């Protein structure tokens, strides 16, 4: 049964959830990623309730035998909300880095400005994964708040409750239960255990820490803007956190930042402790006339 869009804004649950969302002004045209799961479905419903002109995109990765059924469900959800849904099929094969490759393919299909249904629970998982990779403040700041993450302050319990109340036929992606993927183990094993150990909902604490680190990260990025990464004297004299950030920005290649070990080698060149150093991908940094030069 279709949801009456006129009913959505006056529904008490919808009003409560919208107060915690960051949607653009009513009348704005947006693209919503719609997997058919509860998070993206709730986001689409709330976008409609916020008065946006919504177009949905469902990405079929073709990795599961019933993936076409998910596409049908996503289109059914969109129809019940009175919005359009375009299905994009991408070719992916199983193998290493499947999650990262699927994420890249999905982002390419929906576009960088599309809204995604990341929640506060996704935030907690992302921060823990970054922690165990040894990330600094930028990684531990987690998912950035902004116009493409309108429901980042909602919980999964909120999105499930809304979908149930609206009678949306949501999809259950069994790959989200597969312990092969580290995020699933963080979600189903680590976070529940942490809740038990600390006798509270630790996701709230993790989100709070990420918000504090994000503020620090923004300030440090602004300060790092004042440091010329090619000025060896300035890099050597700058406070270490700013020098690292300036160099990281300069040396990031195709979206991949240099490792901490690489930054230390470049800092040695800036200080005059080494003449040059090699970087990944066949690149090299050397010092000449008090400047740092990057060559391929």
Higher confidence at residue 97 or residue 196? 196
The percent of residues above 90 in pLDDT, for the chain, comes to 72
Asked if the 8-115+150-175 domain carries CATH number 3.40.50.620, the reply is: yes
First to last CA, the chain: 60
* Secondary structure class of 56 (helix, strand, coil): strand
In 3D space, the residue among 38, 171, 185, 170 whose CA is nearest the CA of residue 117 turns out to be 38
Tokens of 84: 């359009």
Determine contact, residues 140/213, Cβ cutoff 8 Å: yes
Tokens of 270: 């800036």
Pairwise CA distance, residues 127 & 141, whole Å: 7
- Residue spans of the domains in the chain: they are 8-115+150-175, 120-143+178-219, 225-295
Q: What is the pLDDT of residues 245-292, one digit of tens each?
A: 999 999 998 777 898 899 999 999 999 999 999 998 899 999 999 999
Say what the pLDDT of residue 1 is: 56
Residue 96 has pLDDT above 80, yes or no: no
Determine contact, residues 123/210, Cβ cutoff 8 Å: yes
Give the up-direction half-sphere exposure of residue 188: CA atoms within 13 A in the CB hemisphere: 12
Average pLDDT for 11-23 = 94
* Secondary structure class of 207 (helix, strand, coil): helix
Residue 65 has pLDDT above 70, yes or no: no
Sign (positive or negative) of CA dihedral 62, 64, 67, 70: negative
Buried/exposed code over 192-228 (b: 16+ C-beta within 10 A; e: otherwise) = eebeeeeeeebbeebbebbeebbeebeebeeebeebe
Determine contact, residues 76/41, Cβ cutoff 8 Å: no
- In sequence order, the β-bridge partners of residue 58 are 87
Q: What is the pLDDT of residues 49-61, one digit of tens each?
A: 999 999 999 998 7
Determine contact, residues 75/87, Cβ cutoff 8 Å: yes
Say what the pLDDT of residue 4 is: 62
Residue 97 has pLDDT above 70, yes or no: yes
Pairwise CA distance, residues 233 & 222, whole Å: 20
């Amino acid at each position: 049964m279709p949801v009456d869009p006129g009913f959505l804004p006056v529904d008490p649950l919808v009003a409560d959830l919208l107060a915690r969302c960051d949607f653009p002004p009513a009348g704005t045209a947006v693209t919503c990623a719609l997997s058919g799961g509860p998070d993206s479905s709730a986001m689409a419903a709330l976008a409609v309730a916020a008065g946006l002109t919504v177009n949905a995109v469902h990405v079929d990765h073709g990795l599961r035998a019933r993936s076409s059924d998910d596409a049908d469900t996503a289109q059914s959800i969109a129809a019940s909300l009175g919005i359009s849904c375009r299905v994009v099929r991408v070719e992916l094969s199983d193998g290493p880095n499947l999650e990262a490759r699927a994420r890249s393919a999905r982002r390419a299909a929906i576009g960088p400005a599309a809204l995604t249904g990341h929640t506060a629970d996704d935030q907690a998982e992302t921060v823990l994964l970054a922690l165990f990779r040894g990330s600094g403040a930028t990684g531990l700041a987690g998912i950035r708040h902004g116009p493409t993450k309108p429901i980042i302050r909602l919980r999964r319990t909120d999105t499930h409750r809304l979908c149930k109340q609206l009678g949306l036929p949501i999809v259950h992606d069994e790959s989200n239960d597969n312990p092969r993927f580290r995020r699933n183990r963080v979600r189903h094993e680590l976070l529940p255990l942490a809740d038990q150990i600390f006798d509270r909902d630790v996701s709230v604490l993790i989100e709070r820490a990420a918000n504090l680190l994000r503020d620090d990260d923004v300030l440090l990025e602004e300060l790092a803007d004042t440091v010329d990464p090619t000025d060896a004297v300035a890099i050597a004299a700058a406070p270490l956190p700013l020098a690292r950030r300036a160099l990281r920005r300069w040396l990031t290649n195709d979206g991949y930042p240099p490792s901490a070990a690489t930054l230390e080698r470049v800092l040695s060149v800036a200080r005059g402790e080494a003449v040059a150093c090699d970087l990944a991908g066949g690149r090299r940094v050397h010092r000449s006339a008090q400047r740092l030069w990057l060559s391929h």
